[in-house]
Amino acid sequence: MTARIRLERVRPVYPFVRLAKEFVVHHRAADLPITGAHVSHHRCWPHDLDVYLEMNNGRILTILDLGRTILARRTGLLRVMRQERWGLAMAGASVRWRRRIRSFERFRVVSRCVGWDARFFYLDQSIWVGEVCAAQGLYRAAVTDRGGMVDPARVFAAIGSDGTSPPLPAWVRHWTEAEAERPWPPELPEAP
């Protein structure tokens, strides 16, 4: 039991080395418009694997987080967030896994903002092994300050963009409508 606790204490929780690598690799990458696509390249390392010897689904979510971080830097959002002391909160996600990623396989992540509404930004991210999509995630994010959510129009003004969203794809609209029907807080089953 003691050895297990010690091992869990030293196990890395977040891949800060990968995050640093992303900032270094994309340091000179051109700025992107708000709806521009950021592409990053990665490899599945043995510490990314689960008991089935494929990339752990939680690690995939973390890799997608890295893509969103560099996308935010390249669009100017990170700079504005630092200046304004804003935060970025994930308010929902829907993820599909369709292909296993095995040890040492190379893959790329494509991250882009597909649009926004009065409260949230919608981010589409996909992971590709060659020409095959291994996973795809749709995220809903909000910029926040001490008072709560920051109006996207205010965010765009700070970035220096006009803030006109392209029409949200139908599948994103349907997802937001379904999320609005979902009970919150979730119902708990009765204790036996």
41-72 pLDDT, tens per residue?
A: 999 999 999 999 999 999 999 999 999 999 99
Instruction: Tell me the CATH number at 92.
Output: 3.10.129.10
CB atoms within 10 A of CB 24: 9
Q: Is residue 188 part of a domain?
A: no
- The predicted model scores a pTM of 0.88
Q: Is residue 16 part of a domain?
A: yes
Q: Is residue 33 part of a domain?
A: yes
The answer to whether 152 touches 159, Cβ cutoff 8 Å, is: no
Q: Is residue 155 part of a domain?
A: yes
125-165 pLDDT, tens per residue?
A: 999 999 999 999 999 999 999 999 999 989 988 998 888 89
Q: Which domain holds residue 34?
A: 12-180
Q: How far apart are CA 141 and CA 163, in angstroms?
A: 16
Q: Is residue 86 part of a domain?
A: yes
Q: Is residue 1 part of a domain?
A: no
Instruction: Name the domain count of the chain.
Output: 1
The answer to whether 107 touches 81, Cβ cutoff 8 Å, is: no
Q: Is residue 108 part of a domain?
A: yes
Q: Is residue 192 part of a domain?
A: no
